[in-house]
Each structure stands twice: as structure tokens, then as C-alpha cells.
Structure 1
Amino acid sequence: MADIIFVLTQNILPIFVVAGFGFALQRWLGVDKRPLSTIVLNVLSPCLVFSSLVGSQLPGDELASLALFAVSNVLLMGSVAYLAGRVLRLPRRQTIALMVVTMFVNGGNYGMTLNQLRYGDPGLVRAVVYYTTSTIMLYTIGIFISSMGKMPWRTALRRLLRFPAVYAAVLAIIVYSFQIPLPVPLLRGIEVAGAGAIPVMLLVLGMQLADLKTVASLRFALPALGLRLLLGPLVGLLLATLIGLSGLGRSTSIIEASMPPAVFTIILATEFDLEPTAVTSIVLLSTLLSPLTIATAITLLNL
């Protein structure tokens, strides 16, 4: 019990303190969060991805294993959610919504911050790999599943190509693989911008939570919460074992797999009419419950 309390107070509580600032800012001043989200999406997050991957010094095989874990986790959780929807005889749109909130986690402002607080910069570097890989899948497979084939593949591709972090990841891999030297002022500038990503992302998270006020039916919410918060860590443990991850790579990957749904799933649900009210409440409830489930998973799984 003492270990769980330590994780809650030392690793998770600081995240919600900063998010609380954003929550209060939104409630008291009604600040428009869209400019901040735009800055994070197009500048700070790509800089964080680039600087983390370039400076990671991760062996190529570990980098590939971490990316494989992310891909496998997203696909396996999606398959489990689809089967759960069929077993529960959920309507088609609820089944698709269940898949989306189960597959894609808040691995950015929540997951990366937690891994950095717990393991320092080496943990952040490995968490960035999961975040980048899963985000690319969100903007491709996530959009396709949400549209269920209604959106032309060219449209999905155009949306992906508008995501700067994709280019940042590709450029970082090129620079890392070929050991291309970069001008020190340029690299330092990118590192400074990247360092600002996490605090701003946490503020945005709090502002987003301040706008979530809806409640889902228990028949839909309970399976989603169970799959994402309870089954997620176990699936992460299984995949980490099968892939052969160890050390920090194992710990950070399982923690990322234990995160609540990404806030962006609300945008998908709204865009494609996938029970947006229910998805919004699931994101809110799972985020509020996640400190207990994540702290328990970290303690019991010795992460």
C-alpha cells in the first residue's frame, strides 16, 4: 500500500497539479484552448519528438522493439474491444466507439510526463517512441475505423501528412541512423522548444477536462473503462514479455499501455457521430480513475 501511495503522490499527483492549473484557467477565465493545442501539435510536440529521438542514443533494435510493442498493443486492444462489442451485442456505432477509446491512449501529456517523472529523461525517450507510433496509427487506422470506410483513403492520408510530428520522427530517424551532425544552435533551439511541450500539454489536458460534463450509459461505459484501465496493463505485460522488452523499455511501454483514452478520441467521435456524449464521459471518468489503476499496476508489476 505504501508503494502505491508513493507512486500516486510522487509520480502522478504532480501531473494533475499542472492539469489543475489548466482546469482552473478554463473555468475561471474561459481561455480559448485551440491556440495552445495548435502550438503543441505543430511546434512543441514535433520538437520534443525530434530532440528526444535524436538524443536518445537508443540501440536500433530497442527502438524497433518499442515501436513494435506500440503497433501490437494498439491492434490487439482494438481486436479485444471489437470482440467485446460483439459479445455485449452493442450497436454498430457503440462498438466502433469502444474500439477507438480502447485502442488509443493519452500517451502524450499524461504518459510521457509520468514516465519522465518516474524514470527521468531515459524514460521520456522511450515513451516518445510509443507516443509517436501510436499517434501515427491514430491519424491513419483510427480515422479509417472511425469512418468505417466512408472516408476516402486519400483524405485520411492528407490528414496524416498535415501532422508535423510524423516528419519530425522521420527526420530524427534519418539523422540518428546516419549520424548527421546538426548545428548546435539549431539543436539547442529544438530542445528548448521540446522542453516546453509537456507543461503546455498538461495545461491543455486540464482545460479539456474542464469542458467534459456528460455521462455515458453504464452498459457502454463499464466495458470501456474495464478494457482500457484494467485489461490494458495486462495486455501490455503480455506483449512486453512476448517481444522480449526489458528494463526501462518494458516499464515505460507497459505504463503507456495503461493510460486512459486519448482526448483526441472525442474529436473522432464528434467528427464521425460515434456516440460523442458517451465517449466524452468515458474519457473524463477514465482519466479521473486512472491514478489508482496506474499506481496499482506500477506497484504490482514492479515497473
Structure 2
Amino acid sequence: MFTQVVGILFPVFALALVGFLIGRWLKPDFKPINRINMDVLVPALVFSSLAVMPIEMEQIPLLTASVVAVLLPGLLMIPICKIFNLNFKVWVPSNMFRNSGNLAIPLFTYTFGNTALAPAVLLFVISSCAHISIGIALLSDGNPIKKMATMPVFLAALLALILNLSGIGIWKPLYDATHLLGGASIPIMLLSLGSQMCNIRLNGLKVGVICTVLSFVTGAMAFIAIYLFIPLPTLHLQMMLLFTMLPPAVMNYMFAERFNIAPEKVASMVLFSNLFSIITLPIVLVIALSLG
């Protein structure tokens, strides 16, 4: 089991380490790279995956589980924020919206193989759509529907689902092109995540530890609800255990900075929680594999 876990996690953390070394050595500006990744490469990955993914009634439990995994931690944080006098807008998004792109997609594919890519992308799409709708609604008074409708990843998912559900299908050369383009998104996600670790400051350690503990508690409660009430096949159940225990998404910091919601504190939550995943993910992965 130990060798299997190491074999699964090593490529993920190795690429993140390369990203960290690049960040320390070259100090590149990853903002335009991340923009290209989120607006071009990730939509290509989403499109190529969803366009050919079998969409049947069997997918409904996974969709339901993904919604529970996103919403239930947010609901659980309401009384926690009141009891401990925490800023709702600062702490709730980091518990709801986890690293379903940079970390989850490569983790799922390395763990379960290519059969997990389509459901992994589906989880990413659900989480991303919730983040750019519910997440923005939590932080601002703007129109989240308008924002979501202009996101390339949402448009790519919508087009892919139309082609899939209508039976039109996708032209193979177009599929090959988007599949090739989307394949580049995963290593770039990990390199970017690793480069973010260069920004860690020790004065944010306490916030990072608290966020890690809270996200584990709310994630565990969400998984228990999924395990008890939503019938899932073994693969999807294993994926949901990992999904509910992921650290916060980097996008939480981007939105906090944009809306000026304690961006430095949110950055500490994101960076330290992702750093601590070096310790927590192997433990969760062992538990997930034992469910098989």
C-alpha cells in the first residue's frame, strides 16, 4: 500500500516541486500563464472530456454528491463562524471551493487511471460553476449569472454537453486537437501551484493551520452525508472521499483579492493548506484505496 501511495503522489508533488524551484530560480510571472490555462487549455480539457463522456442516469448520483460536497461545508461554516466570531466571507469560500483543478484532476488520473478523467473533469466543472456563481454572490453584489455566462470553462462545458446530449457528436480531428491542447493544462496547473508556495510567510501559519483543520472537519461531514445517503459505485465513492478532503482552491485568493476580502489572510489559508496536503493527502489516499 505504501509503495502504491508513493507511486501515485510522487508525480503530483514532483511537478509541484519543479514549479516551486522555477518560482525561486526564475521568478516568472505566472499570471498570464494562468490566464491562458484557465481561458484556453482548461476549457479545451473540459470540452474534450465532456463531449465524449457517457452521460446517463448513472451520472446523477455523482452530480448530486458533487453539489453536496460543495454546499454542505458552507452551511456547516455558518454556525462555526458565529460561534468563533469569524468573518463569513473570508472563511466560507475556502471550505466550499477546493482545489478541484490543479490538484484533483492529476491526483484522480494518477490514482485511478484514464477512466477517472471524465468524472474528475465533471467534478471540476460543477465546482467551478458553483465558485463563479455562488462564490461571487457571497463576496459581491454583482450579477453572478452574467459572470458565469462569460467564463470560457462554462461555455466549453455547455457546448460539449449540447453536442453530447443531442447525439451530434464531435468531429474526430477537432476532438484530437482539443484533447492535445487540454492535456497541457494538467502539468501547468501543478507548476503554477508549486510556484505559489514561494509566497508562503510564517506569520500566516496559524490561519493556515486553522483553515486546514476546519476544511478537514467540514469535508469529513460532507463525505459522511454522501456515504450514507447517496449510492455511488466504488470508484466514485473513492473520488468523493478525496474530493471532500482537498485543500482550498487558488481561485479563492484571486476572488478575495478582487473584492478586497482579507486577501492576505485568504492567501495564507490557500498556500499553507496546499502545503500541508503533502502530509494529509497520503493519509486520505490510503483510506480511499481501502474502500476498493
3-state DSSP of counterpart to 1:107: coil
The match for 2:102 among 95, 99, 109 is 109
Equivalents in 2 of 1:225, 1:184: separation in Å? 43
Distance verdict in 2 for CA 1:66–1:247, change over 3 Å: same
Query: How far is the alpha carbon of 1:178 from its aligned partner?
Result: 2.1
Query: How far is the alpha carbon of 1:217 from its aligned partner?
Result: 6.9
Identity of aligned residues (%): 28
Q: One-letter code of the match for 1:185? A: P
Equivalents in 2 of 1:29, 1:298: separation in Å? 33
Structure 2 unaligned segments of length 5 or more: list them: none
The match for 1:293 among 274, 280, 284 is 280
Q: One-letter code of the match for 2:186? A: I
Q: One-letter code of the match for 2:244? A: A
For structure 1, which segment, 175-184 or 115-124, has the greater mean C-alpha deviation from structure 2 after superposition? 175-184
Structure 1 unaligned segments of length 5 or more: list them: none
Query: How far is the alpha carbon of 1:122 from its aligned partner?
Result: 1.1
Q: One-letter code of the match for 1:104? A: F
User: What's the counterpart of residue 142 of structure 2?
Assistant: 152
Query: How far is the alpha carbon of 1:291 from its aligned partner?
Result: 3.1
User: What's the counterpart of residue 203 of structure 2?
Assistant: 215
Confirm whether residue 119 of structure 1 aligns to residue 112 of structure 2: yes
Q: One-letter code of the match for 2:178? A: I
Q: Is the 8 A contact 2:46 2:153 kept in 1?
A: yes
Q: One-letter code of the match for 1:16? A: F
Query: Deviation digits for residues 223-248 of structure 1, max 9, x if unmatched?
Result: 42112134414422431431211221
The match for 2:23 among 22, 26, 35 is 26
User: What's the counterpart of residue 45 of structure 1?
Assistant: 42
Distance verdict in 2 for CA 1:26–1:291, change over 3 Å: closer
Q: Is the 8 A contact 1:21 1:203 kept in 2?
A: yes
Matches within 5 A, 1:1-303: 3=1, 5-6=2-3, 8-57=5-54, 59-90=55-86, 94-147=87-140, 151-153=141-143, 156-213=144-201, 215-216=203-204, 218=206, 220-301=207-288, 302-303=290-291
Equivalents in 2 of 1:8, 1:230: separation in Å? 23
Query: How far is the alpha carbon of 1:273 from its aligned partner?
Result: 2.6
Query: How far is the alpha carbon of 1:295 from its aligned partner?
Result: 2.1
Q: Is the 8 A contact 1:215 1:277 kept in 2?
A: no
For structure 1, which segment, 100-109 or 290-299, has the greater mean C-alpha deviation from structure 2 after superposition? 290-299
Q: Is the 8 A contact 2:76 2:218 kept in 1?
A: no
Report how many residues are paired: 290
Query: Deviation digits for residues 78-110 of structure 1, max 9, x if unmatched?
Result: 0111211111122xxx23211011110001110
For structure 1, which segment, 156-165 or 136-145, has the greater mean C-alpha deviation from structure 2 after superposition? 156-165
